[in-house]
Amino acid sequence: MTRDLTEGNPFSLILGFSVPVLFGFLFQQFYNIVDTAIVGKFLGKEALAAVGATGSVNFLVIGFCMGVCNGFAIPIAQKFGAKDFSLMRKFVMSAAYLSIIFSVVLTVLTVVFCRPLLVLMRTPENIIDGAAGYIGVIFAGIPVIFLYNLTAGIIRSLGDSKTPLYFLIFASILNIILDVVFITVFAWGVVGAAVATVISQGISGILCLFYMSKKFEVLRMTKDDKKINSHLFPILCGQGVPMGLQYSITAIGSVILQASVNTLGSDAVASVTAGSKLGMFFVSPYDALGTTMSTWGGQNAGAGKYPRLKQGLFVSCVIGFVYSIIAVLIMVLFGNILSRIFINANETLVLAQSHQFLILNSAFYFPLALVNIVRFLIQGMGFSRFAILAGVFEMVARTLVGVVFVPIFGYSAACLASPAAWIFADCFLIPAFFWCYKTLEVSEPLALKNK
């Protein structure tokens, strides 16, 4: 049920591991798109803008949760690569204990402060009630977000990228059904869309937990494994918290940018919402490559097979470059048509602005590919703190665009905020990888650490 990425051809291993992960991301984005499309089509432009206005806040908090869980999985992947299964199980239990603590604290804080944050972001008055209701429910579901992302991360760290996909497909279908029921039958509005998302992710998390506990022999816990090994907490937090902060620091720039977009009116917010949702679907291959590189880096660094780190980097970059050419062609030719998934045909201004957003973003998809590939590879190698610095570069770029250029150049500047962030991050990450690689070569193998 596990897969060893420390032996064999890098191209076939990376492709074989990343394709199921890709389908997982695609299905996740698919039900996000359907979720947004149902809101836009059945509830109207203002409801679509209300959901979109929460995007950066959502990323700020949920991104932190996902980053923490991904970071917790890195020591597990390293110990799996080193074949130290006893210590690996202790890391798994310690990650579970920490996740409970993190999820309770974050749920309380975010539910209490979500509306004041939306007010601070100058969310338009005609959409703030819907935005607060939607994001409040999402934040109340943080424990199930931790459950799914931690269990899926552990499963992938053992080389199994297919099983989380199967459960995510099931959750996606369930989410769509619940969307229709809660919005069109129960008339719960945007809150219904949020409830559907939380329920679906909770069920997929429970399925992952059940599967993980039953199917992986190396995860069969002894009484000693279940003890609270507090000396492992700093190691897990040293990987998880920097990855979580990287997402959150990046999102701070997005929050500032969103506040600038909010000043352009609800049409601009709806345009960015539609473009962002479609964009997230089309950048899923880069997310899949990033997730693959995290496991690739963890297992191979744990096994002390450092040359395979560069081999994996090269293979992933080739895949990312080829896909970026395909993606920009699709956006140029079909972006306007695709935007109609969310927007009625009579909203010509919103459609045109959404298409503009898609074209300008997709032109810089290869720099985004490098961000995901290099950043996650560095994290898998054990240098998660570098993720914070990469996030700082992205935050600075988005903040600069939002504060300086959007007030001057308007919507067009907002479209170029993410490309600027990706280029800034690459300027840091590419030299950082080679520094991390050299550091590993002259240090003791990770397989001997943390024992």
* 335 falls within a domain: yes
Q: What is the pLDDT of residue 318?
A: 94
Q: What is the pLDDT of residue 444?
A: 55
Instruction: Report the distance separating Cα 130 and Cα 44, nearest Å.
Output: 12
Task: Quickly state the pLDDT bin for 32 (edges 50, 70, 90).
Answer: low
Q: Residue 208 is encoded by which pair of tokens? A: 């992952």
Compute the average pLDDT of residues 6-17. 88
Q: Structural domain tally of the chain?
A: 1
Average pLDDT, stretch 202-223?
Answer: 88
Q: Is the pLDDT of residue 451 over 70?
A: no
CB 311 within 8 A of CB 89: no
Ranges 223-232, 347-356, 440-449, most confident: 223-232
Query: Of 222-226, 252-256, 361-365, where does the model show the most confidence?
Result: 361-365
Return the number of other C-beta atoms located less than 10 Å from residue 171's C-beta. Answer: 24
Mean pLDDT, all residues of the chain: 86
Instruction: Give SS3 for 334.
Output: helix
Q: Residue 153 pLDDT more than 70?
A: yes
Give me the pLDDT at residue 422, please: 92
Distances (CA, A) of 223 to 79, 99, 360, 431: 19, 20, 55, 45
Among 150-159, 216-225, 280-289, 339-348, which stretch is predicted with the lowest mean pLDDT?
A: 339-348
What is the rounded average pLDDT of the residues 284-288? 89
Give the Cβ contact number of residue 187 at 10 Å.
Answer: 10
* Weakest-pLDDT range from 213-217, 384-388, 441-445: 441-445
| pLDDT at 6 > cutoff 90 | no
Q: Following DSSP, what letter does each residue of 142-192 receive, concatenated?
A: HHHHHHHHHHHHHHHHTT--SHHHHHHHHHHHHHHHHHHIIIIIS--THHH
pLDDT, tens digit (0-9, with 9 covering 90-100), for 17-26: 888 888 877 7
Tokens 């579970």 sit at which residue?
96
Instruction: Please check whether residue 379 is in contact with residue 74, taking contact to mean a CB–CB distance below 8 angstroms.
Output: yes
> Which pLDDT belongs to residue 449?
46
In a domain, 204, yes or no: yes
pLDDT confidence tier of residue 219, bands split at 50, 70 and 90: confident
Q: Is it the case that residue 1 has pLDDT exceeding 60?
A: no
Q: What is the pLDDT of residue 2?
A: 60
Higher pLDDT, 67 or 24: 67
Q: Is residue 283 one of the residues assigned to a domain? A: yes
For residue 98, is it within any domain? Answer: yes
Q: Rounded distance, CA 98 to CA 109, Å?
A: 17
pLDDT of residue 260: 80
Domain of residue 108 covers 10-443
**How far is Cα 403 from Cα 425, in angstroms, rounded to an integer?**
19
Query: How large is the average pLDDT for residues 391-410?
Result: 86
Q: How far apart (Å, rounded) are the C-alpha atoms in residues 303 and 59?
A: 34
Dihedral of CA atoms 10, 15, 21, 25 in degrees, nearest 10, equals: 130
Q: What is the pLDDT of residue 92?
A: 94
Rg (CA), the chain: 21
Which of 93-97, 102-106, 193-197 is the least confident region?
A: 193-197
- 450: in domain: no
User: Considering the entire predicted model, what is its pTM?
Assistant: 0.71
pLDDT of residue 327: 92
Cα dist. 385→30, 71, 240, 290, 339 in Å? 32, 11, 9, 16, 38
pLDDT tens-digit profile of 76-101? Answer: 988 888 888 899 999 999 999 999 99
375 within domain boundaries: yes
In angstroms, the CA 172 to CA 29 distance is 9
Is 134 within 8 Å of 51 (Cβ atoms)?
yes
3-state SS, residue 120:
helix
% pLDDT > 90, the chain: 32
User: Quick one: average pLDDT of 441-448?
Assistant: 58
Is 170 a domain residue?
A: yes
Q: Which residue has the higher pLDDT, 165 or 307?
A: 307
Q: Yes or no: say if 72 and 239 are a contact pair by the CB < 8 Å rule.
A: yes
Joined together, the tokens standing for residue 62 give: 């949920």
Q: Is residue 448 part of a domain?
A: no
Which is nearest to 365 in space by CA: 314, 320, 415, 317?
320
Residue 55 has pLDDT above 70, yes or no: yes
pLDDT of residue 341: 75
pLDDT > 70? residue 448: no
pLDDT above 60 (res 447): no
